Every structure is written in structure tokens, then in C-alpha cells.
Amino acid sequence: MSDIEQGFIGLIGASDPEADDGEASLEVEVDERHLNAAGTVHGGLLATLVDTTMGAAIRSTTDGETPATSQLTLTYLRPGRPGRLVVTASVRKRGESLTVCEADVEQDGSSLVHALATFALLDR
């Protein structure tokens, strides 16, 4: 089990995103413990999933730098329900000390979330 799976992301039942060459993906099965009071997928869970997946996409392009979320914007397009979520992320622009990344969350082929984030690149 990786450090990520043993850390916070493991608490929500997700595994490490798969990442290569500025792209990353993650799948997670959502159940009742992931829902809010309205009975839909909690927005904080969705934010965690896109943030984690975008960080993995960025790490797949760095040489020893650690991405730190500087700004994260989510657009919630429709509510999610129990079942499989698929998160994908792509590095869009890389500067000297900042990187911009986008991510999407889909369920059953429908978009739930679109996210855009800026990450600072920190030396380890």
C-alpha cells in the first residue's frame, strides 16, 4: 500500500491515481458514507478527488518538485449518487514555479464536476 493510500485519500476508500506524462486518472466506488444530507455525493469528497488526481498528474511531469495547491475552483454540474466515479486530470500550462491543471469527474458517462487549479511547485 502506498503512502497516499495509507494517508487521507485511503480514509475515503480511494487508491492512488494512475499518472503518466501529465495525465492522471482515479476511480472510486461511492457509497452511503460519501453522501451529504441531501443524499448526493458530498462536494468536499469531489474536491478531494480532483485535487489528488491533479497533484498526481503534475508529479508525473516534475523532477523532484512537490505540487502544492494554490487555487482550486470547482464547478458542480450535477449531483452524484452511489456508484463508480471516474476522475481524470491533465496538466494544461507549466510555468517556472506554477502549474495549471484541469480535472473532470464523471459518473455513468455524465459530467459531475469540472475543476481548474493552480499549483505552486515547491522544492523537496
- The parent domain of residue 32 ranges over 3-123
**What pLDDT, on the 0 to 100 scale, is given for residue 6?**
59
**What pLDDT, on the 0 to 100 scale, is given for residue 76?**
98
**What pLDDT, on the 0 to 100 scale, is given for residue 13?**
87
What is the reported pTM?
A: 0.92
**What pLDDT, on the 0 to 100 scale, is given for residue 120?**
97
The answer to whether 58 and 66 have CB atoms below 8 angstroms apart is no
Q: How many domains does the chain have?
A: 1
Contacts for 8 with CB less than 8 Å, ≥ 6 apart? 48
Contacts for 69 with CB less than 8 Å, ≥ 6 apart? 51, 54, 55, 117, 118, 119
CATH number assigned to the domain comprising residue 104? 3.10.129.10
Stretches where the chain sits below pLDDT 50 are 1-5
**What pLDDT, on the 0 to 100 scale, is given for residue 64?**
82
At 61 the three-state DSSP class reads coil
**What pLDDT, on the 0 to 100 scale, is given for residue 3?**
45
| Cα separation, 76 vs 107, whole angstroms | 13
**What pLDDT, on the 0 to 100 scale, is given for residue 60?**
96
At 70 the three-state DSSP class reads strand
Compute the chain's Rg from CA coordinates: 14
**What pLDDT, on the 0 to 100 scale, is given for residue 72?**
98
**What pLDDT, on the 0 to 100 scale, is given for residue 93?**
96
